[in-house]
Amino acid sequence: MTAGVGETGGVRVLVVEDERRLAAAVKRGLEAEGFVVDLAHDGVTGLHLAREGAYDSVVLDIMLPGLSGYRVCQELRAAENWVPVLVLSAKDGEYDQADALDLGADDYLTKPFSYVVLAARLRALLRRGVVPRPPVLRCGDLSLDPASREVRRGAAPVSLTAREFALLEFLMRQAGSVVSKADLLSHVWDSADDIADLNVVEVYVGYLRKKIDVPFGRRTVQTVRGAGYRLAADGG
Ligand code: CA
What CATH number is attached to the domain comprising 110? 3.40.50.2300
Kindly give the distance from the C-alpha atom of residue 107 to the centroid of ligand 1, in angstroms, as a whole number: 17
Ion ligand 1: residue ranges with CB closer than 5 A: 18, 61, 63
The predicted pLDDT at position 7 comes to: 47
Q: Cα of 61 to ligand 1 centre, how many Å?
A: 6
Mean pLDDT of 211-218: 96
C-beta of residue 88 within 8 angstroms of C-beta of residue 17: yes
Mean pLDDT of all residues belonging to the chain: 86
* 51: in domain: yes
Q: Let me know how long the chain is.
A: 236
The Cα-based distances of 20 to 15, 54, 118, 182, 198 in angstroms read 11, 23, 18, 59, 62
183 in any annotated domain: yes
CATH number at residue 216: 1.10.10.10
Query: What is residue 12's three-state secondary structure?
Result: strand
pLDDT for 223 beyond 60: yes
Q: State the pLDDT at residue 8.
A: 44
Question: What is the per-residue pLDDT across 13-72, written as a single tens digit (0 to 9) for each?
Answer: 999 999 999 999 999 999 999 999 999 999 999 999 999 988 999 999 988 999 999 889
Determine the distance separating the centroid of ligand 1 and the alpha carbon of 22, expressed in angstroms: 9
Structural domain tally of the chain?
Answer: 2
- Does residue 3 form part of some domain? no
Q: Report how far ligand 1's centroid is from the alpha carbon of 213 (Å).
A: 41
Residues 105 and 81 in one domain: yes
Same domain, 121 and 168: no
Cα of 80 from ligand 1 centre, angstroms: 25
Q: In which domain, by residue range, is 38 found? A: 12-128
